[in-house]
Structure 1
């Protein structure tokens, strides 16, 4: 039960030798044997040979010719139209000469020619088939007109004309049947290819499903398994196919379901180090008790989906509340600012107004973060040189924020670091990371020292890092800092880093926390590299 087999596209089969060609060549051999039996008949009473030498030579030559064409059928199948045309000419000439040499068997010989022309019409185009029908008709009429005495000519001309009519009728009928046969064969072949492709698509879909799927027979042996089920069972080896030995709990639940019809929907872990699953069972067919499909639902996937739905609903609700709060908050802040300008306020009242203003600013920041969470605007990526972009960002940040004794510097090499990202969303991510580094990344009594580093990582991946020399983040806290609404600060919203990671992923990047040796923190943003052929100044 190793990894599921690889998939290959359906290949059209090599075109087989047409059955009509084999039939024509076998019939020709039978026809040659009949000519030989007539020519070398021990009794000379019937049929009487008009020309013994011609009959013997014709029978032997045609028998050799029929045997050779049958032996070489497969080799000449690629040029079937040319070979059939040539052999039909020989068949017609031989039939006319056989009627001349063995006149008593003229009716049977003429009838056998109908079969040859009909088989040829199954292979040749209509015009060519009608040509050979006309050639056979002219041959028989010519024999009747030139070889027979005048007393028998009228009767045999009528017979030859009727045989000619039969040649044309059988040729047209077989051509129509051939067209219908080819259309049916082409449709069946196309349906076969479509069915094979559909089967492979279905198999590939099942193989790539996040839900584990197993097919188990009544002997508790696994017949088929997809990748997810293989991993949820702990990546078993190929020779482990007994469900009872591989997953005893799953086998027990399957037996309980088969005997009682009741499903145990509690989660269980089938192997060490794999997520818990909820097994479900289904018959392969309503009346088939020999095979059962087992579906393994990964509870971690269900939890993530539930979390995404919760966050989505919470985002919409929070955005609605934020819009309702913004207007009265603006009125409170404006009133506090007007009150602060009054000269009649005492020190205590001034302190109260300051507290109101500070909390208004904090509440406004919370509202902005919540609105960003609900908007989730689509990224508009451009090609950027991260080094030059980081210098521009740092300069803009210094102009908009008073750093005081704190420091913010950029480290970038001379080589350009080309990346694809939305400049506005990248600005929000870096602003959030730098703001956090300046606020929390400082040792007690010392100024904050923050660096923005633009460089290439492994395999040329563009990286931009925000590094501080503060106390760092405890491992337990670091495991949760990107979760929404998680914060360790009394005035924090818990949305800044969550939004930063979301915008990073929207730009096909990844944001992670890296602890710095010797103290400090590093938030590393890995982006998508730009194509070498594109200019470096497209997004500047």
Structure 2
């Protein structure tokens, strides 16, 4: 919906370990950056070798014993470096292989440069140290040490077998030995550094994911709050609001953000609170047709009026909560009273039955005994309804075939009740209608609805005609309907029939339909009244479909 946004903050003190996914992403990101740096450094290194090999003729340094071979080596290394740079993206998923190939090229090029350009041996050895260190950021420790050892042996081997420079082998041997130690040190340090970098990036990735998840949870929680929440700045402009606030303010458009024009009374109270610090706790209506609310204000930071949170408490919700508490207390009180009444009532009823069996009673006494029995039955029904109000038994849902269930129910009802001229029949299609519900609760609800339909759903001087229908709605929802052909229910009365203790009958308790709705809601279903075109009433129960298809799910029908 346009104009709705949620705002919230959630503090967390947990520090979860990085997940495998976050670690893999961090490793891939680290490999991408370091592999690009590695290949571009190699390209620069090859460019340096090429520049030295193609030095002008008038420059005597560095000495090139074989210029053609040196230039060929430099060009080959430059071409290999260009290929490695071009294939960097395709080798990101195999960084170890890419780095290993690159280090082999680097070590081979360095040894050839030492042979063909001996004067720059110190620079070549130093640049090779950068190659070894960069490779250690991406390679496992053993592989890093292996390449450091290969580079060291290559340097030492060149010094031992260099016959073109007599008398300098001892000095170079010491120099290359020191460079070898540096290679091992750089590889070890860069391996540790790379591991720490990957762990840090994985933790940062995980924290980012956790923060995004927390933000979504906060948004969902505040969006679904029954209390309206608004964030207003010092210019009286609304920055964010949740769904409840959006509805309590009359569903404003997305571009309407000025609090003064949307809710003048709320803006006035906010100004009064900002200037005086006093809160007006009286209820007010922010828009036509919306419930009354009690606004509360809170600063985001102490002594900072730049942004204010406004909470709108719906008074109708408070009234409903109070009504639920009252009904709960009344149910417990009534249950205790009903238990005390049931015992003397049973004694009266039993005594009346014994008295009715006497053969010496006059006709007037027989009539009095009949009245006593009738009222005892009525009082017992009232007590049963009150006890049901206090029990609130938990549902035990099963998967039912509603078509079979309604036929079994109607057959059982006919056997236990004398219908006389009244008509009660079950209607269902050829296809099975599967639903999930507690069969005991469903039995009580339908029995209550059928009783009401047979009692009130009849035209004057005509028998009642009642149907119990099992079908699918247009959306595929399983539905049970109790339909009669009586005069129907007036719209004003229909709006209150599910309220507790509401009745239009002088002997009614007003709890039957209320308890029926409570039982349907306990089974994740909905009970509603639907007026029938042409006269009559329909009480419709929309049930929950099974998780699996009716053919695959076990179907249990009430026997």
Asked whether the two chains share a fold, i.e. TM above 0.5, the reply is yes
Moved more, 487-496 or 383-392: 383-392
Contact 2:238–2:259, Cα closer than 8 Å, also in 1? yes
Aligned residue among 515, 532, 535 for 2:550: 532
| Residue segments in structure 1 that go unaligned for 5+ positions in a row | none
Aligned residue among 382, 394, 397 for 1:381: 397
TM-score normalised according to structure 2 size:
0.84
Q: Say if 1:47 and 1:502 are closer, same or farther in 2 by CA, change over 3 A.
A: same
- The answer for the alignment partner of 2:109 in structure 1 is 94
Q: Say if 1:357 and 1:134 are closer, same or farther in 2 by CA, change over 3 A.
A: same
Aligned equivalents of 1:352 and 1:217: distance in 2?
Answer: 77
- The answer for the alignment partner of 2:2 in structure 1 is 2
Q: Say if 1:331 and 1:132 are closer, same or farther in 2 by CA, change over 3 A.
A: same
- The answer for the alignment partner of 1:506 in structure 2 is 522
Query: 1:443 deviation in Å?
Result: 4.5
- The answer for the alignment partner of 2:13 in structure 1 is none
- The answer for the alignment partner of 1:84 in structure 2 is 99
Aligned residues: 535
Query: 1:351 deviation in Å?
Result: 5.1
Aligned equivalents of 1:250 and 1:171: distance in 2?
Answer: 67
SS of residue in 1 equivalent to 2:288: coil
- The answer for the alignment partner of 1:21 in structure 2 is 35
- The answer for the alignment partner of 2:253 in structure 1 is 237
Q: Say if 1:112 and 1:536 are closer, same or farther in 2 by CA, change over 3 A.
A: closer
Query: 1:371 deviation in Å?
Result: 1.0
CA offset digits 1:507-531 (Å, max 9, x no partner): 3333333344554433333434564
SS of residue in 1 equivalent to 2:133: helix
Query: 1:342 deviation in Å?
Result: 5.5
Aligned residue among 486, 511, 517 for 2:502: 486
Moved more, 392-401 or 214-223: 392-401
Q: Say if 1:280 and 1:99 are closer, same or farther in 2 by CA, change over 3 A.
A: same
What does 1:255-266 align with in structure 2 at a 5 Å threshold? 255-266=271-282
What does 1:316-465 align with in structure 2 at a 5 Å threshold? 316-341=332-357, 352-404=368-420, 406-412=421-427, 415-416=430-431, 418-420=433-435, 421-444=437-460, 446-456=461-471, 458-459=473-474, 460-465=476-481
Moved more, 279-288 or 208-217: 279-288
CA offset digits 1:311-353 (Å, max 9, x no partner): 2222222212211221222223333444555667666665554
Q: Say if 1:534 and 1:106 are closer, same or farther in 2 by CA, change over 3 A.
A: closer
Query: 1:425 deviation in Å?
Result: 2.3
Contact 1:216–1:291, Cα closer than 8 Å, also in 2? yes
- The answer for the alignment partner of 1:271 in structure 2 is 287
TM-score normalised according to structure 1 size:
0.87
Contact 1:281–1:293, Cα closer than 8 Å, also in 2? yes
Query: 1:369 deviation in Å?
Result: 0.8
Contact 1:384–1:537, Cα closer than 8 Å, also in 2? yes
Contact 1:51–1:101, Cα closer than 8 Å, also in 2? yes
Aligned equivalents of 1:328 and 1:110: distance in 2?
Answer: 109
What does 1:283-322 align with in structure 2 at a 5 Å threshold? 283-286=299-302, 288-322=304-338
Contact 1:434–1:450, Cα closer than 8 Å, also in 2? no
Contact 1:216–1:222, Cα closer than 8 Å, also in 2? yes
Q: Say if 1:24 and 1:311 are closer, same or farther in 2 by CA, change over 3 A.
A: same
What does 1:184-199 align with in structure 2 at a 5 Å threshold? 184-199=200-215
| Residue segments in structure 2 that go unaligned for 5+ positions in a row | 7-20
Query: 1:495 deviation in Å?
Result: 0.9
Aligned equivalents of 1:395 and 1:19: distance in 2?
Answer: 77
Contact 2:133–2:186, Cα closer than 8 Å, also in 1? yes
SS of residue in 2 equivalent to 1:175: helix
What does 1:18-57 align with in structure 2 at a 5 Å threshold? 18-32=32-46, 35=49, 40=55
SS of residue in 1 equivalent to 2:161: helix
CA offset digits 1:35-81 (Å, max 9, x no partner): 56666389867655555555555556656655665566556544443
Q: Say if 1:435 and 1:29 are closer, same or farther in 2 by CA, change over 3 A.
A: closer
- The answer for the alignment partner of 1:224 in structure 2 is 240
- The answer for the alignment partner of 2:14 in structure 1 is none
Contact 2:502–2:510, Cα closer than 8 Å, also in 1? yes
Q: Say if 1:62 and 1:371 are closer, same or farther in 2 by CA, change over 3 A.
A: same
Query: 1:390 deviation in Å?
Result: 3.5
CA offset digits 1:441-478 (Å, max 9, x no partner): 3445x253232242435325444443444443333222
User: Is 2:136 the partner of 1:125?
Assistant: no
Aligned equivalents of 2:119 and 2:534: distance in 1?
Answer: 116
Contact 1:472–1:521, Cα closer than 8 Å, also in 2? yes
Query: 1:368 deviation in Å?
Result: 0.7
Aligned residue among 99, 103, 114 for 2:118: 103
Aligned equivalents of 1:32 and 1:522: distance in 2?
Answer: 88
Aligned equivalents of 1:143 and 1:468: distance in 2?
Answer: 106
SS of residue in 2 equivalent to 1:489: coil
SS of residue in 1 equivalent to 2:167: helix
- The answer for the alignment partner of 2:489 in structure 1 is 473
Contact 1:382–1:539, Cα closer than 8 Å, also in 2? no
SS of residue in 2 equivalent to 1:122: helix
Aligned equivalents of 1:536 and 1:162: distance in 2?
Answer: 79
Aligned equivalents of 2:90 and 2:545: distance in 1?
Answer: 57
Query: 1:118 deviation in Å?
Result: 0.9
Aligned equivalents of 1:409 and 1:341: distance in 2?
Answer: 34
CA RMSD of aligned residues (A): 3.4
Q: Say if 1:218 and 1:535 are closer, same or farther in 2 by CA, change over 3 A.
A: closer
